[in-house]
Amino acid sequence: MLTIEKYAAIDIGSSAIRLLITTIIEQEGKETQFKKASLVRVPIRLGTDVFLNGKISKKNYLRIVDALIAFRLLMKTHNVVRYRACATSAMREALNGKKIVENLYKETDIKIEIIDGNDEAAIIATADIILHINNDKAFLYVDVGGGSTELTIFVSGLFVNSRSFDLGTIRLVSNKVEDSVWEDMKDWIITNTSDIPQICLLGTGGNINNTHKNSGKKIGEPLSYLYLSTYYKNIKAMTYEERIVNLNMNPDRADVIVPAIKIYLSAMKWSGAKDMYVPKIGLSDGIIRSLYKNKKQ
């Protein structure tokens, strides 16, 4: 017997709003398949509003309304049977975040959950990222967003520890990160990885996906610390305009790529990792998996 359904995940982040629609195929006696049917990303930078002014502007609120109405129509067209919408760092820190979520529900009929950093890390871990690579190894999973970075440690495929830090690309370009946050993350990584030999990084987020794509490496082939540090020096030396023209980057990527790579490099340095794998999954994938697991329970 074959069962085919579509689930959707809405990720309202500090850098962008995303809709992921996934086809879930169940066949008796076989492993369930998860196939991406559609992915839409709208670069509404809520983090710029919140980290600089403390609240979400009316302009960006109206942009969210338009995006969510479009997402609802897409979900209807795809015959989506289940969905979950989660808002992360920017929305949970916005002074008007809860009111925004209430108004969005009234205008779009989409219910949004504001999740904290620990919930975010737990949902991401649900994405079964370890299935994408050799689970005999130890990994420090680093998910870099606009408002926060989630760190999770896996050893031999098993969860060990995780923590969220208010260290994200939009915060960094807005000069809203204290040195103490870097020190806290450094201390946490060193403390939790010093006894783990030959640890590797798992990196997710739009910026590292873009970096891996530009590297020319095959899917599943890791980026070395040497390659990433050289790449970082090259893009840091370029102007914003040069990254757009010479590297064919989108304007909303060209300014945040530098702080993003700095975070990944720092995590590699502090953990002693020489290689980083880029499975190209994240919060949206975790939301889909969590929906499916909750259905099966």
- The per-residue pLDDT for 297 is 53
pLDDT along the chain (297 residues), means of 10: 94 96 93 94 96 96 98 98 96 97 98 90 71 74 94 87 93 96 98 94 94 92 97 97 94 96 98 94 90 78
Q: Which among 164, 156, 89 has a CA at the least distance from the CA of 122?
A: 164
Q: What is the pLDDT of residues 65-77, one digit of tens each?
A: 999 999 999 999 9
Pairing, β 80-87 against β 17-27? unpaired
Q: In the chain, count H helices and then E strands.
A: 13, 11
Length, in residues, of the chain: 297
Fold equal for 2-118+284-296 and 134-281? yes
Measured between alpha carbons, how far is residue 156 from residues 153, 199, 245 in Å? Answer: 10, 11, 42
User: What are the residues facing 35 on neighbouring strands?
Assistant: 23
Cβ pair 182, 190 in contact under 8 A: no
CA atoms within 13 A on the CB side of 205: 30
Is there a contact between 8 and 27 (Cβ–Cβ < 8 Å)?
A: no
Q: What is the pLDDT of residues 138-169, one digit of tens each?
A: 999 999 999 999 999 988 878 889 899 999 99
**161 pairs with which residues across the strands?**
153
> Thinking of the domain 134-281, which architecture would CATH place it in?
2-Layer Sandwich (3.30)
> 275 with 264: CB under 8 angstroms?
no
Return the amino acid letter for 86: C
What CATH class has 2-118+284-296? alpha beta
| Sequence letter at residue 118 | N
Contact assessment for residue 152 and residue 292, using Cβ atoms and an 8 Å cutoff: no
The contacts of residue 203 (CB under 8 Å, 6+ apart) are: 142, 143, 144, 223, 264, 276, 277, 278
Enumerate the domain spans of the chain: 2-118+284-296, 134-281
Task: Round to whole Å and give the CA distance between 6 and 231.
Answer: 38
